[in-house]
Structure 1
């Protein structure tokens, strides 16, 4: 089964397609900050993510060439995840967004708690 060719209107559109969602930026941050991690280590470094969601997000990031999955033929088998060159570049591109979030986190929290639930 082949995937249809996505249509992007700009570079931001393509980037958001790759990194969109709640967990992918946090996975990138953990791998960028800690280096290669085994699945359990990665799960501990991304608080709140379920095992199923982490597996799904890692598979998508691997398919997009952002994360590398290395399987070591040992007993017991060992698998490590790390960022690829495009993954490192993407992680660096997200750093200013993280800095913006840190600078305005209290304002964001305040506005979110003041707004009535939809």
Structure 2
């Protein structure tokens, strides 16, 4: 058993995988973006924005860029008669989905509990 006087080394993101994961996925919108993109093969920017009620253009753009940098989301640019951009989750990101499904079920249970009160 450790004594209180023993020096406790703080956890740093590079040393603790949970903190590192939360650093990457943190933020109000990142998990919501991943969740919405997981429901579709790919989505255009405005389509994704319509699914995320309350998100601003700046926040969506910043969140998508951050997710791209961490290789969780891909951005595909289409040139042609109607140029557009589509976003989709990567294979690496698909490993997160079982955890999000558990969180989704937990959230449903909380909503149900609150509606009983």
User: The TM-score by the shorter chain falls in which range?
Assistant: 0.7 to 0.9
Q: Say if 2:86 is the partner of 1:87.
A: no
Q: In 2, Cα distance between the equivalents of 1:108 and 1:35?
A: 33
What's the counterpart of residue 38 of structure 1? 44
RMSD: 2.0
In the alignment, structure 1 residue 67 sits paired with structure 2 residue 87: no
Specify which structure has the higher proportion of helix. 1
The answer to whether 1:56 aligns with 2:62 is yes
Q: Higher Cα Rg: structure 1 or 2?
A: 2
Q: Calculate the TM-score normalised by the size of structure 1.
A: 0.79
Paired positions, count: 105
Aligned to 1:115: none
What is the rounded CA distance, in whole Å, between the counterparts of 2:68 and 2:17 in structure 1? 20
Q: Which runs of 5+ in 1 are unaligned?
A: 1-5, 110-118
In structure 2, what is the equivalent of residue 3 of structure 1? none
Q: Which runs of 5+ in 2 are unaligned?
A: 1-11
